[in-house]
Structure formats: C-alpha cells, structure tokens
Structure 1
Amino acid sequence: MKARTRLAILECDTPLPGTAAQYGGYGGVFKALLNAGAKAEGHTSAEDILDISTHQIESDLDNYPSIADVDALLLTGSRHDAHANAPWISRLVEYTASALQSKRVRVIGVCFGHQIVARALGVEVGRNPDGWEAAVNNVQLSKKGQELFRVDNLRIHQMHRDIAFAYPEGFESLGSSPVCSVQGMYSPRHVVTVQGHPEFTGPIMKEIVETRHKTGIFDDEAYKTHAKNVDLPHDGVAVGAAFIRFLQE
C-alpha cells in the first residue's frame, strides 16, 4: 500500500467569527475542501491518502514543521499583504523557498499563498492597479488549466487586490481574468497555485464581504457588486480534486 502523503497546512490568518465557529482555523476550511475533492476522486475522505497537520504561522514564527518531516505544503490565504516585510511574512517566504528548493516537497498556494510562492520564486508581487476581485468570478483557463481542473472555464471565489505580476521561469500558466493575468501556476510534481479561493463557500464569502463593508474596505457600490455574487455556483470542489490528483502525481 502506498504511504499516505504528509501534508502540512500553513495557516496564514485566522477566520472571522462565524467561519471559526464552524471550522476552527483555516486548516479546518481546507480539510473540508480536501475531503470533498477526495470524495470526487473516489476516496472515502482525504484521510485515505493524506496525513494532514495544521500549523498557525501568522502568530507563531516557531510553529513550522521540519521540511524533512513533510511531503507537501499548503499555504492558505490571508488578509495580509504578501509583498509586506513583517517578520512572520519574511520567515514564510524563506521557509517556502527552502521547501521549493528541496525539489521533493510539493507546494500548493492559495490566494496569499499563491503570491508567497511567486515571491519565493523571485516574482514581483504587489497591489493590483485594477483593484479588487471578490466573490465568484470567471477565470479563463489555459489548456493546462483545463487539463488540471477538468472544466473549460473556472468559476471561483476571489478576495484579493494584490497579485503576482509574472510567472516564474519554467512554470505554466493555469489561467487569467480581466483583472488578474496570473490566476495560477503549475510545475509537475512540484507546485500548483491558484489566486482564487476554492475553499470558500457562500456563507464564508458573505461574512467577509459584509465585514469589509462594515469596516469601510468596500464602499456601498462595491458591496452591492460583490454581495450579489457570493452565492453563485462555483468550481471549488473541482480545484480540490485537482489538488488531490497533484498530491498523487
């Protein structure tokens, strides 16, 4: 029997209260996604093939697993800027670069995590001059993106105004949107990232959109635009299934 993949989820933020009450940390949100993806691939649950550990690294710089003790990493999203130089972000970039350089550890990056992977590979990340993408949006997939996600075009939750500005040398594009040209990147048995949030559900996104409206991050017009899209159908499970396949390549 093939040994289960040791996957460490690096939690780069803490959820809002409603989401935390249901899932705990973002590790719990991603476990739900991976379970759904594993079931779509014919497994009983993700535990059939993965040994999953979670590590809150935003608030604890010493909570990283040894790279020798993991086979794969998953970097979550975050409300923070991937281009910032706060000590915990700089530490995350260094750790991710070490994992990538090992060529053994597979790395999944989601939103902020996607940008951290890009930064660790030497790509510029920063504020998007075209502004926010939020709630369910369409991503025009590349041929490789269609192959990986097994859909023609990807509907996925988004919540970002930062982007990676280019692709690392040797990495394949997974897709683009009118607001963000780098929606994901891929290197076989090495890296897969997405700028969107496949792990988000309508209720998770609704809580974020409403909170950002109340705190003034989204004005009334932006709130109305994003709020009407929080419950649209999306392909999160298709991305979760692609993550499962990637981990088994």
Structure 2
Amino acid sequence: MQQPLKIAVLECDEPIGRTKDKYGGYGNVFKALLDSGADLIADKDGVKRPELDIREYDVVNAEVYPILEDLDAVLLTGSRYNAFDNDPWILKLVKFTKQVLAQKRVRLIGVCFGHQIVGRAMDVKVDRSDRGWEVSVTPVQLTEKGKALFGVKELAIHQMHHDIVYNYPDSVEPLGHSPRCDVQGMYTKGRLITVQGHPEFTGDIVEELLENRHAKGIFDDAMFKDGMERVRKHHDGVAVGAAFIRFLLED
C-alpha cells in the first residue's frame, strides 16, 4: 500500500478578510492546490492518485518547525514580508531552509516569498526589484525544462510581488522569466522546485489583495485597474500544483 506524501507547509503569513474566512490559513489554500494537482495527474497520467498528508506550521508567530525525519517535503508559502529582511523569524526560516538543502531526502518547494527564501538560503541576491510590481495573471516565458515540468508552452500564473531573486544559483535549472523578473522558477531534480508566481491563488484571492492594497495606497489607480482587468483570466495554477506532486514522486 502506497504511503501518503507527508508535506509540511510553512505558513509565512496569514490571509486577510474573505480569504481568511474561507480558508483559515494559507496551509488550506495550498491543500486545495495540491489536492487539485494530485487529481490532475491521476486523470492525465493514468496513475493511482497519490494520498497527501499536509500539516501546517506557523513560522511567523509561533516559530514552530517540523522534524525533517517525519517528512517527505517542505513547502514555503508566500508572504507580505521581505525575504531579505533580518527579522529573527526570517533568519530562523533561512537557517531551517539551509538545513533542508543540506540533506538529501526531504524535498523543498518554494512559492513567491518562499522562492525568495530558497534563493537567499542558496546565497544569491534577493532584494526589491527596480522594475516594479508584478500583479495578477501574468505570462511567464518558460525554458525547455519549465515547459516539460508544467506541460504548457507559456505559463499563465498569478503574481503578487515587488521583490525578486536576482540570479540563478549555479546548482539549479532555470524554469522561466518575465519582463519584470528574470528568475521565475528554479529546479533541481529530486531536491527543489520553486516559482515566483502564486499557483495557489484564485481570482477571488487576488481581487481581495488588489482591493486591499489599492485602499492602502500601495497600488495606484492605474496599477489597480490593470490588475483587475487580468484577475479573472485563465491561469495554470493547477498545472503547477501537478508539477509539484510529480516532483515529489520522481525517482
């Protein structure tokens, strides 16, 4: 009997408003994504649907971490915070990520802020982008490896970031780029996969973030209007979720 994949979701932030009411925490947002990804590969690949054992850990407020020996994978979520800051909880997260990278069995997934934390843990520059925000559904030009992993020629994915990983670490395969972000995803077989975008986000989630940041003056009228015009466009989030599951299953 196949054992469930044991995945620790490190919650690096918490949702707001309607999203929080619906999901509680980002662990449940990712559970929905990964469940959909598992369903997709069972349907598309003709394999038995893998069972998932997903557990959440609050690394911001509680600073609670899993025991690696109990896991198959660690997933780092997105966040409103800056991956290049030196808050104690961020430094602790970087240290833990380095521990995951230093061993060979437990695999690592990073999304947005999580992608940037992986970059920082691999000693490449992470900082504010001088090209501005990327928001809402955005096309990403994929490398050949990106096309193979995600099963699409060009990736449509929700974005919500102003920070970037500036360079690819030598040990990873690049997955894609966009006009405002050269490092859209990283991959090392059997070790790690990351994306700068948010495959777990839905139109509802991003609409609420756009509204919230527009109300706070973070987004001006033009950026808000542009993001809202693209927020309901098709996106390939579930395809990315399926790629995460395939990555966890690969030999």
Question: Distance between the aligned counterparts of 2:80 and 2:211, measured in 1?
Answer: 15
Does 2:125 match 1:124?
A: yes
Task: Tell me the residue number matched to 1:5.
Answer: 5
Shift of 1:67: 1.7
Task: Tell me the residue number matched to 1:39.
Answer: 39
Q: Secondary structure at the match of 1:228?
A: helix
Shift of 1:3: 2.2
Q: Secondary structure at the match of 2:74?
A: strand
Gaps of 5+ in 2: none
Shift of 1:68: 1.8
Q: Secondary structure at the match of 2:183?
A: coil
TM-score (norm 1): 0.96
Task: Tell me the residue number matched to 1:23.
Answer: 23
Q: How many residue pairs align between the two structures?
A: 246
Q: Secondary structure at the match of 2:84?
A: coil
Gaps of 5+ in 1: none
Q: Secondary structure at the match of 1:123?
A: coil
Task: Tell me the residue number matched to 1:101.
Answer: 102
After the TM superposition, which residues 80-229 of structure 1 pair with which residues of structure 2 at under 5 Å, given as runs? 80-229=81-230
Residues 69-128 of structure 1, C-alpha deviations (whole Å, 9 max, x = no match): 212000000000000000000000000000110121100000000000010011110000
Q: Aligned letter for 2:52?
A: L
Shift of 1:17: 1.4
Shift of 1:47: 8.5
Does 2:18 match 1:14?
A: no
Q: Aligned letter for 1:220?
A: D
Percent of residue pairs bearing the same amino acid type: 54
Shift of 1:50: 2.0
Q: Aligned letter for 1:133?
A: E
Q: Secondary structure at the match of 1:168?
A: coil
TM-score (norm 2): 0.96
Task: Tell me the residue number matched to 1:49.
Answer: 51
Question: Distance between the aligned counterparts of 2:230 and 2:58, measured in 1?
Answer: 30
